[in-house]
């Protein structure tokens, strides 16, 4: 009997993406070009923002966001940024890499997102920003976070690497704070292999971030198209700016091939989201009788969920390590739910922290996730449900 495999993610590359990539190759245009530019405009509009700019990863998007804010608002080394105690390690790594200090905040026990009620206790005179993380496809509770930020004059960077097109109170993720950060890595919602996106409504920040992604280049010259149809003084201005660098920057650009993939994926976004949500619904219905042992995903009122993955938390004496091993042996891939404060490098840097963050500590011990992406069909979903029932029947 053929073994049923249920991976966490899948590179769902269709005919449209292949067509666009082949067009980019035929045009011999690999640098920033029309596919990437069109994708940026459409993505910005879909998330209620004026500007979107691509980079080579969600981590890079986060890094240039913090770098731009640090420059614009004259933050000093050692200033603090509030970060949830459950998230992928890149969220706080990029803070450290800007010579800033991440200060961890516990999360909500039902949504696993930053708990707004915990922010006040971590506020100091050196707090400069908050990075709420929209985990697994579910937006944070943004209204109290934004109220807190406004009251204390803090900047907000939304880490939306796992969440696209979802809304909180009918407002899209990535449009609440100063900057939104997204990822198009393989296991994510739109897939380009590698890739990141920043959204913002602030023109100055958009210019700074694009410069930071391109070695700190003068914003007058950002693309090989910038000198098209120019002559005289205008052309000379562009010529002078081609190798003018105004800040320390990075090489975070993508190629037009990723832009072509991104545009093709974007044009199928309704189909992709609908299938993920359908699969999540089937899982929740199939597992509803196991809630004595498993906490299923919650979608609070006023929020939508794009389900990058399907999170579960063991309870009632269920052993996560035994359960996840059982699932893996049955071909169902698993991941622990983004443990952060117990990572070996963070224990080395910050000491033992779990005692201060009881919700995160519980999730570190008991939470995991499985895939629910659009490549999975009814057969795979039923296999997950049957396997989980088999484990708990034992």
Kindly list the structural domains of the chain, giving each domain's residue range(s) and its CATH number in brackets, ordered by start: 15-266 (3.40.640.10), 269-393 (3.90.1150.10)
**74: burial class by Cβ within 10 Å (0-12, 13-18, 19+)?**
exposed
What pLDDT, on the 0 to 100 scale, is given for residue 246? 87
What pLDDT, on the 0 to 100 scale, is given for residue 223? 60
**pLDDT truncated to tens, each residue of the chain (394 aa)?**
678 999 999 888 999 999 999 999 999 889 889 999 999 999 999 999 999 999 999 999 999 999 999 999 999 999 999 999 999 999 999 999 999 999 999 999 999 999 999 999 999 999 999 999 999 999 999 999 999 999 999 999 999 999 999 999 999 999 999 999 999 998 899 999 999 999 999 999 999 999 999 999 877 655 666 656 666 777 677 667 667 788 999 999 999 999 999 999 999 999 999 999 999 999 999 999 999 999 999 999 999 999 999 999 999 999 999 999 999 999 999 999 999 999 999 999 999 999 999 999 999 999 999 999 999 999 999 999 999 999 999 7
What pLDDT, on the 0 to 100 scale, is given for residue 262? 98
Neighbours of 136 (CB within 10 A): 23
- Residue 147: partners with Cβ closer than 8 Å, 6 or more residues away: none
What pLDDT, on the 0 to 100 scale, is given for residue 238? 64
pTM as predicted: 0.94
What pLDDT, on the 0 to 100 scale, is given for residue 92? 98
């Amino acid at each position: 009997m053929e073994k049923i495999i249920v991976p966490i993610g899948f590179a769902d590359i269709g005919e449209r993406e292949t067509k666009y990539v082949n067009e980019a190759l035929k045009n011999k245009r690999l640098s920033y070009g029309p596919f990437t530019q069109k994708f940026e405009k459409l993505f910005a509009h879909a998330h209620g923002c004026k500007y979107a700019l691509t980079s080579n990863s969600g981590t890079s998007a986060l890094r240039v966001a913090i770098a731009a804010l640090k420059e614009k608002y004259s933050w000093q080394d050692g200033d603090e940024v509030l970060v949830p105690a459950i998230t992928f390690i890149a969220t706080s790594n990029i803070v450290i890499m800007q010579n800033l200090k991440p200060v961890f905040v516990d999360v909500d026990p039902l949504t696993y997102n930053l708990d707004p009620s915990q922010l006040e206790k971590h506020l100091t005179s050196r707090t400069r920003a908050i990075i709420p993380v929209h985990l697994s496809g579910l937006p944070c509770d943004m209204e109290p976070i934004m109220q807190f930020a406004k009251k204390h004059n803090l900047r907000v960077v939304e880490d939306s690497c796992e969440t696209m097109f979802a809304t909180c109170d009918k407002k899209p993720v990535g449009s609440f704070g100063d900057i939104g950060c997204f990822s198009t890595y393989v296991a994510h919602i739109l897939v380009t292999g590698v890739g990141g996106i920043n959204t913002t409504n602030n023109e100055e920040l958009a210019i700074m971030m694009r410069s930071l992604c391109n070695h700190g280049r003068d914003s007058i010259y950002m693309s090989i198209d910038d000198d098209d149809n120019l002559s005289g003084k205008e052309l000379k201005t562009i010529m002078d700016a081609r190798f003018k660098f105004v800040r320390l920057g990075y090489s975070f650009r993508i190629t037009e091939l990723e832009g072509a993939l991104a545009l093709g994926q974007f044009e199928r976004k309704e189909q992709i989201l609908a299938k993920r949500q359908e699969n999540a619904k089937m899982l929740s219905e199939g597992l509803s009788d196991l809630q004595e042992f498993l906490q299923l995903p919650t979608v609070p009122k006023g929020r939508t969920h794009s389900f990058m993955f399907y999170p579960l938390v063991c309870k009632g004496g269920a052993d996560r390590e035994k359960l996840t091993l059982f699932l893996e042996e049955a071909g169902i891939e698993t991941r622990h739910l983004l443990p952060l404060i117990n990572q070996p490098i963070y224990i080395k840097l910050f000491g033992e922290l779990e005692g201060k963050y009881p919700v995160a500590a519980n999730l570190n011990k008991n939470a995991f996730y499985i895939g629910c992406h659009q490549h999975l069909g009814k057969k795979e979903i039923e296999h997950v449900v049957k396997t989980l029932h088999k484990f708990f029947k034992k």
